């Protein structure tokens, strides 16, 4: 029942909002269905905590410590983003940027996008995982192109083509895994793609086929993660789509894609009994961190700036999972959590700032703390958090990753520190005048409600000071499941 409600609520929401998404009550319906999804996620999490991992619906769905906390995180950020999109999209409609038909498309596709991410996280079937990732691409293409401007249409096509090519590579990798599994498990049909079946016999799978499969899977799903040099779609999609979609793309979709990569890594590394998958992930992760840090200096659009920040942090997560081991995996999972919460909070603040300034260009946004203190302080605190200043949770996860790298991969530590230093200078140098710079604009009489921003930042602050025992338990169990050296 919990899983049925978890997956059924957003699907039902998509159908209802396709019919009623243009009405004035549609934002509240969007929040209602997102709240139902979050409630089901909490219910499912409680069952896993009390009863352990679950195989459901003829073993087609698996709930274990690795994916259950991601399910809860996805539902939480989906709910807070729906709350943020209520006032944001109403302002967009008042300014004539979206019509009633496009609002219906926005609300229905938002729920469908949530459903596809939750299916990808909970399925036990690698084939269904691929289908869900492709469905997530198709639904978000419609959201990225919502404004129908030349720039948004170009961004949508770039996203569709690059991620379409990437997901085709992932399909070929999935077929290779099936080819290797069928020789061991027999002609079981789709059951040969069940992750639990594959994990049980991973030591018997053909290493050569699995190593080739992982190359395609890493390139394919790595495109969705935004790993360099496969990242070109991400800055445009974030900059040209509605800001709530930028929040869920950075905060949720990238997590789901890296989850798919790590699931495949567990199988392939167990078959190869070598470090090839880990070395590939560390390589892609390190290149992404370095490249994103350098590109941050060139950005003039505030949403593109934080899009490149997402590439940087996904590179850090990929590098940590590549190192493997209990501490690195724990740190990577913590970093996924705090990055999702922090980056979505930043996009919430950026969305309102761009609306008030009438521009996304950094040079046109000045003196936010004077115009609207809630926007200004939300953006500044979010920026400090994502830059890894203590006592926020990003500092804790990056500290764990760096100290582990000093022991396991000392050659990479100076490169990571250099990239983090460059990113800090680039982002802080651009955000500081936006928040505290001189402005001739008058203070807003009615500051926007930014409760989701400060809720997220409060959670990130808590995770930097104290990780609740049940959450630490999830991370430790998931870290052991992922394994590594």
- Tell me how far apart the alpha carbons of residues 421 and 295 are, in angstroms, rounded to a whole number: 13
| The length of the chain, given as a count of residues | 485
- Tell me how far apart the alpha carbons of residues 447 and 434 are, in angstroms, rounded to a whole number: 17
The DSSP bridge partners found for residue 54 are: 63
On the CB side of 419, how many CA atoms lie within 13 Å of its CA?
A: 24
- Tell me how far apart the alpha carbons of residues 395 and 463 are, in angstroms, rounded to a whole number: 10
Q: Where are the domains of the chain?
A: 1-151+166-230+254-274, 287-485
Q: Which of 341, 346, 348 is nearest to 394 (CA)?
A: 341
Greatest pairwise CA separation for the chain in angstroms = 73
List Cα–Cα distances, 373 to 151, 247, 386, in angstroms: 31, 21, 20
CB distance 61 to 123 below 8 Å: yes
DSSP letters for 268-329: HHHHH-SSHHHHHHHHHHHHHHHHHHHHHTT--BHHHHHHHHHHHHHHHHHHHHHH-SHHHH
**Chain position carrying tokens 């609520």:** 9
Report which DSSP code applies to 24. Answer: T
Residue 441: what pLDDT? 64
SS3 194: strand
Residue 92: what pLDDT? 86
Mean pLDDT per 10-residue interval, the chain, length 485 residues: 90 91 85 94 88 83 90 94 90 83 91 94 93 91 91 91 91 92 72 87 87 93 90 89 91 92 90 84 94 92 93 95 92 95 94 86 88 90 94 94 93 94 94 85 66 92 90 88 74
Within 8 A by CB and 6+ apart from 158, the residues are 232, 233, 236, 237
On the CB side of 188, how many CA atoms lie within 13 Å of its CA?
A: 17
- Name the strand (E) or helix (H) holding 54: strand 54-56
Residue 446: what pLDDT? 62
- Tell me how far apart the alpha carbons of residues 280 and 361 are, in angstroms, rounded to a whole number: 36
Displacement of CA 236 from its chain's centroid (Å): 16
- Name the strand (E) or helix (H) holding 62: strand 61-63
Residue 398: what pLDDT? 95
Residue 282: what pLDDT? 95
Angle between helices 413-436 and 373-386 (to 10 degrees): 170
């Amino acid at each position: 029942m919990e899983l049925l409600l978890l997956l059924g609520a957003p699907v039902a929401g998509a159908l209802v909002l396709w019919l009623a998404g243009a009405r004035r009550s549609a934002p509240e319906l969007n929040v209602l269905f997102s709240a139902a999804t979050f409630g089901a996620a909490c219910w499912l999490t409680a069952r896993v905590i009390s009863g352990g991992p679950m195989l459901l619906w003829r073993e087609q769905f698996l709930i274990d410590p690795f994916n259950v906390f991601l399910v809860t995180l996805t539902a939480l950020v989906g709910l807070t983003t729906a709350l943020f999109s209520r006032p944001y999209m109403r302002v967009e409609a008042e300014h004539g940027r979206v019509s009633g038909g496009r609002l219906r498309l926005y609300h229905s596709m938002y729920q469908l996008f949530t459903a596809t991410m939750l299916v990808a996280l909970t399925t036990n079937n690698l084939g269904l995982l691929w289908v869900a990732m492709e469905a997530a691409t198709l639904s978000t293409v419609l959201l990225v192109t919502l404004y129908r401007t030349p720039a948004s249409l170009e961004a949508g096509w770039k996203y569709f083509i690059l991620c379409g090519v990437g997901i085709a590579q992932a399909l070929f990798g999935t077929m290779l895994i099936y080819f290797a599994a069928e020789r061991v498990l027999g002609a079981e049909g789709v059951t040969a793609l069940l992750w639990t079946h594959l994990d049980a016999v991973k030591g018997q799978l053909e290493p050569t086929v699995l190593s080739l499969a992982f190359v395609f899977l890493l390139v394919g799903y790595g495109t969705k993660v935004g790993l360099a040099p496969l990242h070109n779609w991400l800055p445009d999609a974030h900059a040209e789509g509605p800001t709530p979609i930028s929040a869920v793309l950075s905060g949720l979709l990238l997590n789901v894609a890296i989850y798919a990569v790590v699931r495949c890594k567990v199988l392939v590394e167990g078959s190869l009994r070598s470090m090839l998958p880990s070395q590939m992930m560390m390589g892609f992760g390190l290149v992404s961190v370095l490249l994103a840090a350098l590109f941050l200096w060139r950005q003039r659009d505030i949403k593109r700036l934080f899009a490149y920040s997402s590439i940087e942090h996904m590179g850090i997560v990929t590098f940590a999972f590549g190192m493997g081991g209990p501490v690195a995996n724990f740190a990577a999972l913590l970093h996924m959590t705090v990055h999702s919460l922090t980056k979505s909070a930043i996009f919430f603040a950026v969305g309102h700032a761009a609306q008030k300034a009438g521009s996304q260009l950094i040079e046109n946004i000045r003196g936010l703390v004077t115009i609207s203190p809630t926007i200004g302080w939300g953006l500044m605190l979010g920026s400090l958090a994502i830059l890894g200043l203590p006592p926020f949770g990003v500092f804790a996860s990056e500290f764990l990753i760096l100290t582990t790298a000093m022991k396991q991969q000392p050659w990479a530590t100076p490169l990571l520190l250099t990239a983090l230093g460059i990113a800090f200078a680039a982002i802080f140098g651009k955000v500081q005048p936006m928040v505290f710079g001189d402005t001739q604009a008058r203070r807003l009489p009615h500051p926007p409600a930014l409760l989701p921003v400060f809720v997220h930042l409060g959670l990130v602050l808590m995770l930097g000071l104290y990780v609740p025992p049940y959450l630490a338990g999830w991370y430790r169990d998931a870290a052991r499941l992922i394994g590594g050296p």
